[in-house]
Amino acid sequence: MSNRRGIIAISGKSGCGNTTVTHLVSKQLGFRVINYTFRTMAQEMGVSFEELCALAEKDDSYDLKLDRKQVELAREGNCVLGSRLAIWLLQNEADLTVFLDASLEVRAERIAAREGGTVIEVLEKTVARDQRDHERYKRIYGYNNDDYRFADLIIDTSVSDQYEVALQIVEQYRNLDGD
């Protein structure tokens, strides 16, 4: 008999395919996507995304509120939470934790293709963002987002497309109760 709650947590840095893979996995399993983000919070507060980001830079309560809401929604089960901190936040509650990895260069190429700009410009911005995120997660939670070895599944997304990555996750999830 399964003790699964139907919770999959997927994390990875910007450009690793978190959002795309999260949606593909949820669709294949018939699970909800937990997509509560700073954009959602900004809409609820009636401020712009940029305004909320500026507030969050000075006040950790915004990150804490966002992360609490994501965990609360995930605890309802039958869902996939894809976020930078999903595997840390749900480490003891998720049936499956997945970290998506890719080289900085691959990530920058993907972000540039998605959002525009040169790969060099995006590479510099991505390095700065990674550093800010790392410092923020360490300060707020004590998490080292460069240490994800505890994840049940680590996938290098630079060697597989999003469909193959999603399939690996779905197969791993379906095999949890197997031999």
Torsion, CA 164, CA 166, CA 170, CA 172, rounded to 10: 70
SS3 percent helix, strand, coil of the chain, rounded to 5, is: 55, 15, 35
Residue 37 has pLDDT above 90, yes or no: no
**Span 7-102+148-171: which CATH code?**
3.40.50.300
Mean pLDDT throughout 61-70? 94
Q: Are 32 and 78 in contact (CB under 8 A)?
A: yes
Q: What's the pLDDT score for residue 178?
A: 62
37: left (phi over 0), alpha (psi -120 to 50) or beta: beta
* pLDDT, tens digit (0-9, with 9 covering 90-100), for 120-177: 999 999 999 899 889 989 999 999 999 999 999 999 999 999 999 999 999 999 999 7
* Residue spans per domain, the chain: 7-102+148-171
Residues in the chain: 179
Strands 96-101, 7-12: pairing is parallel
104 pLDDT band, cuts 50/70/90, is very high
Please measure the distance between the N-terminal and C-terminal CA atoms of the chain and give it in whole angstroms. Answer: 13
Quick count: other Cβ atoms within 10 Å of Cβ 72?
11
5 pLDDT band, cuts 50/70/90, is confident
* Average pLDDT score over the chain: 92
Q: What's the pLDDT score for residue 131?
A: 92
2 pLDDT band, cuts 50/70/90, is low
> Cα–Cα distance between 138 and 115 in angstroms, integer?
28
